[in-house]
Structure 1
Amino acid sequence: MRIGEGVEWGLHCCLVLAWLEDEAPVSTGRLAALFELPPVYLKKRLQALVRAGILASIPGAQGGFRLARPPEKITLMGVVAAVEGPDEAFRCTEIRQRGAGTEAAEGEFTRPCGIAAAMRRAELAWRRELAAQTLADLIANAPAAVPGRTRRFYERLGG
């Protein structure tokens, strides 16, 4: 399974917005500058988080992004689903029914394939783990120096 870089970008931006919660909304440009990311691509990820209700987008010259909910109400799974979409990682296409499987007895394929069942169990465990962790958990486990360093860098950007 490969998770796109947009998930990492989204989670880091959410952390920054939590650390800068007392600031004005943060623009895409400033968030992009904090991590040296391409603003156009970052904006697409942030808009997905807005559609999911994780971020709020404030229009206007002084606009930007804020967290739409408290950090303890934002799960890692919520961010993954917002950026990557809700589809399952493994998609069984029932190849067992092709080729040699065309000669199978009637009713042989009434039960799910063992591979599909195992992959489903693994994905459910992964999703449960991410759903059990929140942005607040990440904040609590971040090294103590990170919020201050992030704030200082942001201020040098003109924040």
Structure 2
Amino acid sequence: MQYSVGVEYALHCLVYLIDVPSKESVGIKDLAEFQGLSETFLSKVFGKLSKAGIVSSVPGVKGGYKLAKSPEDVSFWDVVEAVEGHKPIFQCKNIKDNGYLYREGCCSAPSFCTINLVMLSAEEKMRDDLRSKTLSWLNEELNRVLPKQIREETRKYFS
């Protein structure tokens, strides 16, 4: 299982928006330049975040994006789901029903697939863990693990 790099860029950029005053926004150009990636790519990511209600766009020359929700109310899972969509990671194809015994009519297939149940359970545990981590948590964690100067310079860049 692998998430696209869009999830990583989204989480990084959303942290940068936390300290932006509520009446201001950050332009996609500044966010893309800071990350060293194309505006087009980041615009697509932010379009998905906007559609999910995580960010809101501010039109105009000084426009850009700002958080539409409190950082406490945006989980990692919210971001993953916004960027990646809603499809399950494991998609059971019921291959058990094609097994020799079922094809020959010796046995009837059970109504569930044990492998699918295990995979769905594991996926739910991962989602629960990602739901427990919010942008607020990430911001606090970055304050703890990164040098103070890096955090200050990042905030200055976007102010």
Q: TM-score, normalised by structure 1?
A: 0.89
CA contact (8 A) 2:97 2:109 kept: no
CA contact (8 A) 1:56 1:66 kept: yes
Hey, what does 1:151 align to over in structure 2? 155
> What percentage of residue pairs aligned between the two structures are identical?
33
Displacement of 1:109: 2.6
Displacement of 1:114: 1.5
User: Which 5+ residue runs of structure 2 have no aligned equivalent?
Assistant: none
> Aligned partners of 2:87 and 2:132: how far apart in 1?
19
- 1:87 aligned to 2:103? no
Report the number of matched residues. 154
Structure 1 residues 104 and 134, CA gap change in structure 2 (3 angstroms): farther
RMSD between superposed Cα atoms in Å: 1.7
For 1:9-158, list aligned pairs within 5 A: 9-21=9-21, 24-100=24-100, 101-110=102-111, 112-142=112-142, 143=146, 145=148, 146-152=150-156, 154=157
Once the two structures are superposed, residues 22-75 of structure 1 have per-residue CA deviations (whole angstroms, 9 ceiling, x without a partner) of 673111110001110111011000010011110010111110000001100111
User: Which 5+ residue runs of structure 1 have no aligned equivalent?
Assistant: none
Displacement of 1:93: 0.7
> Aligned partners of 1:149 and 1:106: how far apart in 2?
67
Instruction: Give the partner amino acid of 1:108.
Output: A
> Aligned partners of 2:21 and 2:154: how far apart in 1?
12
Displacement of 1:12: 0.5
> Aligned partners of 2:103 and 2:60: how far apart in 1?
61
Q: TM-score, normalised by structure 2?
A: 0.89
> Aligned partners of 1:6 and 1:76: how far apart in 2?
13
